[in-house]
Chain A
Amino acid sequence: MRCEQAQEWISKKVDGVLAVKEVGQLRQHLEQCGECREFEEDMLAMKAWFPAEEAVAVPAGFAQRIAAMAFDGQAAAPILQHVSGGRPRAGSTPERFAMQLMALAAALLLALGLALYMQRGNSNHNLNADETQTLEQVLEELRELNQGAPAANQEAVPKSTDR
């Protein structure tokens, strides 16, 4: 048996999946081969570098949130606490959607405020009731002046025919 084959079998042996008849052949090889015996010890030592994983902390309500996002769309998902320290994800979380709504509301308020301001500005340029009255009075005076003007002119300029 070649060492390469033996070492592949050693890898299977430490996982407990080597067939019984192969175990016998491997044992014979190991009795004669120091390098492969060391390889077997290395493989066993390596197992110790993979300790049982600690439990993974899944954020509370994660499955409920995913189901809500899947069925109702992401906007409908409830905003839940990220107990694992994970942040709300940019681009698709309910938190981001709420922020987008707030930004839209702010923009609408700004537009409404501007419209009101402009309307008020325009109304300042219109004449108010007092000013209208004053203008009418001025116009009336002008009309009166215009009506009196020909007589005055006539007085000022004597007709040539009178001479």
Chain B
Amino acid sequence: MGVVRMQENERSDEELVQLTLAGDRSAFQVLVERHQHRIFRLARHYLRSNAEVEDMVQDTFLKAFSKLDTFQSNSSFFTWVYRIAKNTILDNLKRKGRSPVRAMEDPEDSLGRVAEGRSGRVPMPDARMMKSEITRVTRSVLETLPDIFREVLVLRELEGQSYQEIAETLEISIGTVESRIFRARAKFKDKLMQMHPEIVEGM
């Protein structure tokens, strides 16, 4: 059994998908183990309680399993699961009346508003701030951003994805990724100053 697991750990995602489709349970287990941390982290950017996070990640992998025969290797398995996770989380939030701000509320041509909104300078976090406090402030600001901006910041700043990976994950062009990250940062700055003036005053 241990030898089998070791062999499966060395296999690519695509091979594990094929083995899972052939009925290999441990192959699917390895796939989940390989990607669960990133999907948990993604869910934590949208949901508050650990229980909600766990529920959504569980739903995500079970949905992925039920749709596994539709997975095509032209995108990475993680990208595919990420999209399932994001849709699962957003659908769940919508059902609970906690839908995040959607793209339509913030059209793509709002560059003018971004420029107008810039007031004051972005301070560095106070050196005395604990890392958890910085994370709390950042998360509170992210929660107020339209989803299209929040997701690019999460993928770029917190997940460390490249522009190419973000483009694949969100199924948008590189040009759109560049423009969206730029605008998301401008929005983040505005909201940070609005919501946490004490940080600016403390400069």
Contact = CB atoms under 8 A, between A and B. Distances in A.
Interface string B171-189: 0000000110110011011
Interface residues of A, number: 41
Interface in B8-60: 23, 25-26, 28-30, 32-33, 36-37, 40-41, 44, 50-51, 53-55, 57-58
Contact of A54 (B125, B131, B185, B189): B131
Give the dominant DSSP class at A's interface.
helix
B103 interface: no
Contacts of A66: 28-29, 32, 58, 61-62, 65
Give the dominant DSSP class at B's interface.
helix
A140 interface: no
Given A17-B163, A69-B62, A86-B51, A63 B189 contact: no
Interface residues of B, number: 54
Given A46-B189, A47-B157, A66-B61, A8 B178 contact: yes
Given A3-B115, A49-B122, 19 more contacts: A11-B181, A11-B182, A17-B163, A42-B121, A46-B192, A48-B124, A49-B188, A51-B135, A54-B131, A63-B30, A64-B29, A66-B28, A66-B29, A67-B28, A69-B58, A70-B28, A85-B50, A86-B55, A89-B54
Interface of A: 3-4, 7-8, 11-12, 15, 17, 38-39, 41-43, 45-51, 53-56, 58-59, 62-64, 66-71, 82, 84-87, 89
